[in-house]
Amino acid sequence: MITVCGELVIDLIPSGAPEPGQAPQYTAFPGGNALNVAVAAARLGVVSSLMARVGPGPFGALLRGHAARNGVRTDAMLPAAEPVSLAVVELAEDGSADYSFHTVGAADWQWTAEELERAWPADTRIVHIGSISSWTPPGSAAIADLVARVRADGTALVSFDPNVRPGLIADADAVRAQVDRLRRTADVVKVSAEDLEWLDPGADLDATALRWAAEGPSLVVVTDGGGTLRAARPDGTLLHRQPPSVTVVDTVGAGDSLAAGLFAGLARTGVLTSAALRELPEPELAALLDDAALVAALACTKAGANPPTLAELETARAR
C-alpha cells in the first residue's frame, strides 16, 4: 500500500494558441503532486491511498472523482471548507511547463495533527510527501512530525520530493530549513536539478546527490528533465541512467510519474524497508530506475498529468 499525502491542484492548461485578439482558452485538468503520484501508482497496479484536504464545489468533486475513477482509495480524502488550489500553466515550445499558482487560503496547507492521525491508513508500507504542502505552514509542521514518527517506527518507507515552487515562497530560509529536515528524515529522496539549483545555487549534481545520500536516506534520485538520471546510495555508489527519448506533448506530472514508477517497482519486488533498499543489488536498482524513467517519459507523450497504465508500460518496455 502506497499512501501519498499532499496537495490537490486544478491545472488550467492552454487549449492551443489563441486567435489574434482573442483571450486564451484553458482546459481544467486534475493535478497536484499528491494526486498525480497516487493516480500514477494506481494505474501501475499498486494499491494507492490519497491523504488530502478537498475543497468544496465542482473542482473538489472533479479531484475526488478523478482519484476514484483511477482506482485510488479515497477514504483519507477529508472534506475541507477552504478552496481548491489552482495553477495556470504556461507551455514552452518544447512542452516544458511553467506555473502560476493561486493558493491563498487554500485547503491543502491547513493540516492538523489530529486530521493526519484520523486519516492515516494503517496498512501503509510506502508514504510519499512533498511539494507545496510539505513546506507551507501551518500544515507542513504536522506532516513533518508524522513522517518522522513513521521513519522512527520503521513501519513504512518514507519518500520526499521537495518540488520547490519559488513563486509561492515568502521565507526562503524557512523553506530551505524544512527541506533539509525532511530530506534527512526520508528513506527515498527524489529531487530535480531545477530544485537543487534553487536550494543550493551552483551545486554539482553528482556531489550533492552523494552528500545527501550520506546524510540519512537510503536512496537519492536526481532528475534533470530528459538528461541523465542520477541515483546515489549511502555507500558512495552513484548510478547514471539515460531516460528514453520520446516526442513530448508536455512535461506536466512527469516527475510525479517517475516517483510512482519507482514506488511501484519497490512494491513489486518487496523492497519495503530501509535496510532492504540499502541492500538491493545495483543491477536490480538500475532496472527499477529505468522502469521509473520510462513511466515518466510515457507521461510526457500525453497532455496534462496523464501517466501510463501497467499494460502501456509493459508494451513500451517490450518495445
Does 17 fall in a domain? Answer: no
Does 298 fall in a domain? Answer: yes
Q: How far apart are CA 57 and CA 95, in angstroms?
A: 30
Among 207, 221, 148, CA closest to 181: 148
Residue 266 has a pLDDT of 97
Does 198 fall in a domain? Answer: yes
Residue 31 has a pLDDT of 86
Look up the CATH number of the domain holding residue 120: 3.40.1190.20
Domains in the chain: how many in total? 1
Does 92 fall in a domain? Answer: no
Report mean pLDDT in 10-residue bins for the chain, 319 residues. Answer: 94 81 85 92 96 94 95 96 90 75 89 95 96 93 96 95 91 97 98 96 97 97 94 97 89 89 96 96 97 94 86 91
Amino acid code (one letter) for 187: D
Length in residues, the chain: 319
Does 175 fall in a domain? Answer: yes
Q: How far apart are CA 300 and CA 297, in angstroms?
A: 5
Does 96 fall in a domain? Answer: no
- Look up the pTM and report it: 0.91
Does 93 fall in a domain? Answer: no
Residue 14 has a pLDDT of 83
Tell me the residue range of the domain where 283 lies.
2-6+32-82+106-318
Residue 5 has a pLDDT of 97
